[in-house]
Structure 1
């Protein structure tokens, strides 16, 4: 009887792990971070990509997957599942100055990314990228055909849930354009603010630097700037680095 209870608990636990919000490699295994460089159309039809993560010892590896079938698909699985069956412990924010169907006003920052959070698992993902119309609007076929033409880059980092207060502040400085979102009221208010008009930095300083620590305790330096960031602050920033 004890063995049966143990097997039942393992059977229930494993599917939950598969849906955790974390960066994932081509095989679906959790990783702390990864970088993708997708080739332009002239190479492999614009669907091949180079991949590197925390375990890479020899630099870039040419993935055997296509861009819509590998690490991006595995990482975005919680979002794609949410489109079908909503849960209260999951939240997301998709921002893109070239969202599906139209372009954002030039008042918004030239920035693109995906934020996903799991309140129960206390993890989140910040996926910063360069692809217009990505991901497609509430569609499990998330890869836009326009993404094939040019080279594209993706940086995925797994962060603790509480880090997204700081990440939300960084995104305020950038003045991101959120074209789709679901941020419950008990999630970090800094992210909730971004879903409303007028949530951006409106006074000096026009930039913000922050050290963000990943789930595996690796440090990432985030630099965010407002469109009003000018030569004066650039010189101040240069002096700060020299000091």
Structure 2
């Protein structure tokens, strides 16, 4: 049991170090600020501006860092992916952001599934015996229509998604059904991307959101005053 814990901690430490090194190398802006996960909308706007600036100078760098950060959160069941969903809408546009986040969520959740299967089965059963037993009964009752039952659990959760990701290998859920149930479930998040794209672009420079159409953020009263001054 302790060997499994040591193995999980080693994987987590290696992933954290790799993400930190990538973030340090791809630090954005002239001040070379280290990038970090946003904790509120204000930090999210600042991060969006920093990544846009860096993306204009080094194509693909922001995408690489975003993908690495998203997979890190999903793989280790770390909360806060909703802010990254909004960030994706602002950086890449709502539809590209939707496709990107759906794919990353599915891959990251599958990594979490595999890590739990390799290192965490005993810990999940030890710390959550009642929840695991309840899910086990429900899965066995719906084994004949397991894929649709998984979709139901995602859309109308009786347990948090992170716990479902951790307990899935214990419940003998095939990884293929697990992956596609997560992928289909993410389609409803398009509203988050649309909201995030328009919200962030309303407070920052208009870039990166071709899918949202043209957004005019100019003040017409200031333009009229400027024209009057020029005419005078």
**TM-score, structure 1 normalization:** 0.28
Instruction: Output the TM-score relative to the length of structure 2.
Output: 0.29
Which structure's relative contact order is higher, taking Cα pairs within 8 Å and 6+ residues apart?
2
Higher normalized helix content (fraction of residues):
2
Q: Which protein is bigger by CA-based radius of gyration?
A: 2
Structure with more of its chain in strand, by fraction: 1
